[in-house]
Amino acid sequence: MRVWFFIYGKFSLKAVSFVTFFLSQMQSFSKMLSLYSVFFFIIFKIHFSFFFTKRDEIHFLYITDFT
């Protein structure tokens, strides 16, 4: 879980734009499912950016290691 959040934290705007470009090349059904995933990722990222400080995020990572 900690590794996933570390990778998530390293995502840049270039990575997000690459993903959206990649999704635009996919077929309809796969595209809809993947766009839902990207939408959730963006909402999650915005949620963390605005509602969590760095210390809160570290505590959250610490808690998730034991669940």
- pLDDT band at 21; cut points 50, 70, 90: confident
Contacts of 25 (CB under 8 A, 6+ apart): none
Instruction: Give the span between the Cα atoms of 9 and 7, in whole angstroms.
Output: 5
Q: What is the pLDDT of residue 67?
A: 42
Residue-number span of the structural domain to which 34 is assigned: 2-6+14-64
Give the rounded percent of residues in the chain with a pLDDT score beyond 90: 0
Number of domains composing the chain: 1
- pLDDT band at 40; cut points 50, 70, 90: confident
Q: What is the pLDDT of residue 43?
A: 66
pTM of the predicted model as reported, rounded to 2 decimal places: 0.26
